[in-house]
Structure 1
Amino acid sequence: MALEPEELAAARDDLGAELRELRRAAGLSGDRLARRCSISQSKISKIETGRLTPTLVDLDRILTALGATAEQAARVLQRAKLANTEWQDKRTLWRKGLETRQSELKVLESAASEIRFFLPTMVTGLLATPAYIKASLTHSPGDVSSTVAKKIDRQAILREGTRSFTFLLTEQAVRWAILPPGGMAAQRERLLEVSRWQNVRLGVIPLGVLLPRGPMNTFTVYDDRLATVEIFTGRLAFRDARDVKAYRELFAMYEEHALFGDTGRDQIRAWGRS
């Protein structure tokens, strides 16, 4: 299914409109529907007008109360999947300011208890040295000094001890040279240091390891409520429970093939010598 940005933006309104039409076809007022499914009338109104995206549990209760057919329910659930997907294009992120994105990420990280990062191409900002962060932003427009500072500031969350982090890096992510040899050596030392912290698990996947699925995109999973996926032109955010579950399962598959602890650290050191 192609996820056009315009389609994603309209999905919430379309979902609300379809639920409203189903309610009217069932001959129910918003108040009667609310009583039938034990959801407040104000919440029903917000869902129908596109001001609120319903959870899958809410949808199940509403569709049951409406006596929706299997075909109607499938159509509504497909719209719900789109409504729970957000597209952020790179140009919009640049217009808002990259430092704004760092503030948003800090809020996401602070609200989560378990965060999983799959890094097939490069080191993420939470693990990066200042030099690596600056080099990774050379393609970005304008002065990036504020963004670099905010990325470094975000790293403090790794030492708070109130949440757990798992980072999976492929060999390419560790070895991709965006700095001269001395800078990359410092970056490897940073990975070795962070890998020893109490609430951090850092695993590496060497080239040549037999994997059933290729590492296509960088993605991050926040608990069981949100998954974000990065591509060259922007970022997708998935809130549909089925999508988040799929990314958690994908992460678990890669995790089974990663090297952790002393074995992983030995591998990072070996890459530095080769």
Structure 2
Amino acid sequence: MLEPETDQQQRKNLADTLKQLRKAAGLSGERLAARTAMSQSKISRIESGRVLPTVADVERIMKALDVPPGAREELLSLTRSANVEYTSLRSAARLGIWRSQAEIKALGESSSTIRQFLPAIPSGLIQTPEYARAVLTPEVEGRPARDVDRAVQARLDSQGALNDESRRFHFLLTEQAVRVKPAAESVMVDQVRHMIAVSRRPNVELSILPGRALIGAAPLNVFVVYDDRLVTTEIFAGKVVLRDYRDIAYHLNLFEHFRERAASGEGAREILESIADEFMRVRD
């Protein structure tokens, strides 16, 4: 999904190092697999670079190989670095924003629980076509051009994931994210009412963090947690993917902190209805 040369080199370095450590310990792939309770095929894929091991995977391998403490820290540092990926907005636009939408769709389809923290803008999974077009159309100087029609369609296609009631979706928006106006009032009214409708789906929890809520952490950026496998975070310049279990645990804790202070169910819908009414009055 993410940024090319540096990420690939880090993964190769990690794979090569793990393979060298196994050979230095005089173990076959089968024996290492037995010691780590992993499959031999997984060990092979890790050592060939076809699979990126998690920090937990590498910790198990190091324990099985009895790697010295100093080398452990160096290898863990390399693993954590390899488990952080970055894609610049410019790189994504060059490849096609629709590709990013397709990757997001694939991530969603392979996850049973998706938690989205949205301090700036509603998720693409809960956007109307007109709203999606407004936010995907570049107007700021320096922002790369994109195939808007294709990006909008890909975003709408990804919304089909909501129809799978075996999966859970948690959308946690700040009140400010709902009020930000990238489109005309008529589009905003439709967008807010669409979120109200989505909130009634049996597999969706939509929460609103009111502007008056007392919080103990800054709502700095959008992030999405896919099960307990990985976190994606968004910044102006691009997207970062985190796979270290400590980063995942931290973002899950952040999500719960904000969720405990947010309104859900009818409380969230009351806030949304009030905001829709405000946009209606301005439109009229």
TM-score norm. by structure 2 comes to 0.85
Structure 1: segments with no counterpart, 5+ residues: none
Pairing of 1:47-126 with structure 2 (within 5 A): 47-126=46-125
Distance change in 2, residues 1:107/1:49 (3 Å): closer
Q: How many pairs were matched up?
A: 271
Measured in 1, the distance between the counterparts of 2:87 and 2:247 equals: 17
Quote the Cα distance in structure 2 between the aligned partners of 1:248 and 1:134. Answer: 30
Do the aligned partners of 2:96 and 2:146 also contact (CA within 8 Å) in 1? no
Q: What SS is found at the alignment partner of 1:187?
A: helix
Question: In angstroms, what is the RMSD of aligned CA positions?
Answer: 2.4
Mapped to 1, the partners of 2:162 and 2:31 lie a distance apart of: 49
The 1-side partners of 2:157 and 2:21 are apart by 49
Q: Which residue of 1 aligns with 2:230?
A: 226
Distance 1:38 1:128 in 2: 44
**CA-CA distance at 1:243 after TM superposition:** 1.6
Letter in 2 for 1:265: R
More displaced stretch, 172-181 vs 86-95: 86-95
Correspondence 1:168 to 2:172:
yes
Q: Which is further off, 207-216 or 21-30?
A: 21-30
Q: 1:263 to 1:65 in 2, by over 3 A?
A: closer
The yes-or-no answer on 1:244 pairing with 2:243 is no
Cα displacement (A) at 1:127:
0.9
CA gap 1:215/1:87 in 2 versus in 1, 3 angstroms? same
Q: SS at 1:216's partner residue?
A: coil
**Distance change >3 Å, CA 59–CA 122, structure 1 → 2:** same
CA distance in 2, matches of 1:60, 1:224: 18
Say if 1:52 and 1:272 are closer, same or farther in 2 by CA, change over 3 A: closer
Three-state SS of the structure 2 residue aligned to 1:166 is strand
Aligned to 2:259: 255
Q: Note closer, same or farther for the CA distance 1:149–1:210 as it changes in structure 2 (3 Å cut).
A: same
* AA in 1 matched with 2:77: Q
User: Aligned equivalents of 1:190 and 1:31: distance in 2?
Assistant: 54
Q: Partner of 1:112: helix, strand, or coil?
A: coil
The amino acid of 2:185's aligned partner reads P
Amino acid at match of 1:55: T
SS of residue in 1 equivalent to 2:224: strand
Q: Does 1:198 align with 2:205?
A: no
Measured after TM superposition, the shift of residue 249 of structure 1 is 1.3
- 2:17 paired residue number: 18
Question: Aligned partners of 1:113, 1:17: CA distance in 2, in Å?
Answer: 33
Paired residue type of 1:180: A
> Which ranges in structure 2 are unaligned for 5 or more consecutive residues?
139-143, 279-284
| TM-score, length-scaled by structure 1 | 0.88
Q: Relative to 1, partners in 2 of residues 1:40 and 1:210: Cα closer, same or farther, differing over 3 Å?
A: closer
Residues 57, 123 of structure 1: alpha-carbon distance in 2 compared, 3 angstrom cutoff: closer
Shift of 1:49: 4.5
Matched, 1:156 2:165: no
Partner of 2:263, secondary structure, is: coil
The amino acid of 2:267's aligned partner reads T
